[in-house]
Chain A
Amino acid sequence: MDVPFELVRIVIAILALAAFVGVNAVILVWVERKAAGFIQRRPGPYEVGPQGLLQTVADAAKLVGKQLFTPAGADPVLFWLAPLLAFLPIFVLLLPMPFGPTATGMEVNLGLLLILAFAGLNVLSLCLAGWGSNNKWSLLGAARAVSQAVAYEIPLLLSVLAIAFMSGGMDLSAIVREQGGWPWQWNLVLQPVAFIIYFVAAIAETNRAPFDLPEAESELTAGFHTEYSGMGFGLFFLAEYAEMIVVCGVAAALFLGGWRGPFGTDGWWWFLAKLYALLLSMIWFRWTYPRIRFDQLLVLNWKWLMPLAMINLLVTAFIMKL
């Protein structure tokens, strides 16, 4: 029996992505803490390893070694299903991601739709975590997560649709190929409004500050993951950083030309550079803006992002038909 080539490719891709997600989380957490330290005029971690580089490794080892604890009165099935449901879709989300001209797990015609479809599972896992914990803070966090995610998904979809309209398809690799290497050949120039809407909505979808109401530590202790210990929390944490890669990767592919570079220097290095530039700006936002209030959250979405995205989409459709 011969094994089909595609299957081998997918298995290798998933293994590589698992390694990438793990290593990346370790590095990103360190970068985040260093950036936070820099912004707040303190050194950040510096004891473990050179410049504190091994601090996250030590933290990860500590997390793995901790006892897994199910709170009294919690629904054990829902409680432990939630972190798995948060983490597992990550691999599906990263599979169609165009890291390079050939470095793509699986070229799917509808890659963009695949990512959007499986990204919805994240909200579901937050809901189950909040409900299953039998804790009022968790439940409040889940309620916030739902109202936030459902609302911000709409402008996100509309802004992504504008790019799909322009390219006439939802294949991420094809969208990257249609853009040029120079910054003025990127979709960003044609769709600046869509990019801003996408990035704001993406930060809200990943529950990052200033949209971190679901876990708001000063109000809800830790929101939906209050009751999780050890790797239960670790999986949520990994999932959050992996989701950051997903939304920034999609932004890099859709708006910033993905792996295209000037002077014919196409390759995964450009994709990673753009990806990390976006990730860094997300970290920068987190330590710059205070948490948004709930009414501001709703006003921003329903009164600003949604109509803007709608108008942007209509104008795009109109121009494409001319």
Chain B
Amino acid sequence: MELAGKIIFWFYAVVIVAGGGLAVTSPNLVRAMLGLIATLFGVAGMYLLMNAPLLAFMQLLIYVGAVSVLIFFAIMLSRASATGDEGMEPGLWPNVRAFLAFALPMGVLGLTAFLAPPAGVLVPAEVDPAKLGQALLGEYTLPFELISIVLLAAMAGAVLIAFEKRGSK
């Protein structure tokens, strides 16, 4: 079973990286979104591999089912075409900045993983949703509430932006 696990891991890893590559390089925004969805699927597969089905299904439900569909809606409403501004080749500076934004976290994380590889870890036991809920409202109340404040701020911001546009017309 260990070999099967490794094969599946590498399969998902390839899906994630290939999807990410497509999302970054494709001049067509809808195809780029497809790459993003492939990546999200790969990550959900990784969660399943780590015996966290709740997280995996939530990932699919929220990111694939809702967020990516809303992104699609945004693409459709903005009528972005492959020959528009987004399809242009970016200059030198944007490329350098994008590379730095990619390389810095990747370098730190990659170096830590290579220098201090974790000893083999057993697959953790599956946590049932009830326990997860108790932990979120017990031990981890503060981070949980902080996240909800972030979401509230985002929502308030969205409403604000929408109102400003309506007023300026």
Residues of A within 8 A of B (CB): 75, 77-78, 81, 108-110, 113-114, 116-121, 123-124, 127-128, 131-132, 139, 142-143, 146-147, 149-150, 153, 168-170
Does B30 lie within 8 Å of A131, measured CB to CB? yes
CB-defined contacts of B115 to chain A, threshold 8 Å: none
List of 8 A-B pairs having minimum Cβ-Cβ separation, nearest first: A120-B65, A117-B60, A117-B57, A117-B61, A113-B57, A127-B72, A146-B73, A123-B69
Residues of B within 8 A of A (CB): 28, 30-31, 34, 37, 53-54, 57-58, 60-61, 64-66, 68-70, 72-73, 76, 126, 128-130
What is the CA–CA distance of A95 and B2 in the complex, to the nearest angstrom?
Answer: 25
Closest to A168 in B: B130
With A113-B57, A113-B58, A116-B61 as contacts: A170 and B129 at CB distance below 8 Å: yes
Does A149 lie within 8 Å of B69, measured CB to CB? yes
Does A150 lie within 8 Å of B58, measured CB to CB? no
Ordered by A's residue number, 22 sampled pairs between the chains whose C-beta atoms are within 8 Å are: A75-B30, A77-B31, A78-B30, A109-B126, A113-B61, A116-B61, A117-B64, A120-B60, A120-B61, A121-B64, A121-B65, A123-B69, A124-B65, A124-B72, A131-B30, A131-B72, A142-B76, A146-B70, A146-B73, A150-B66, A150-B69, A150-B73
Closest to B71 in A: A127
Count CB-based A-B contacts (< 8 Å).
79
CB-defined contacts of B128 to chain A, threshold 8 Å: 109, 169
CB-defined contacts of A149 to chain B, threshold 8 Å: 69
CB-defined contacts of B37 to chain A, threshold 8 Å: 124
CB-defined contacts of B72 to chain A, threshold 8 Å: 124, 127, 131, 146
Does B65 lie within 8 Å of A123, measured CB to CB? yes
With A117-B60, A149-B69 as contacts: A139 and B54 at CB distance below 8 Å: no
What is the CA–CA distance of A315 and B64 in the complex, to the nearest angstrom?
Answer: 30
What is the CA–CA distance of A123 and B60 in the complex, to the nearest angstrom?
Answer: 13
Does A124 lie within 8 Å of B69, measured CB to CB? yes
Q: Which of A117, A128, A147, A170 contacts B30 (CB 8 A)?
A: A128
What is the CA–CA distance of A132 and B53 in the complex, to the nearest angstrom?
Answer: 32
CB-defined contacts of B61 to chain A, threshold 8 Å: 113, 116-117, 120
Does B60 lie within 8 Å of A78, measured CB to CB? no
With A78-B31, A131-B30 as contacts: A120 and B64 at CB distance below 8 Å: yes
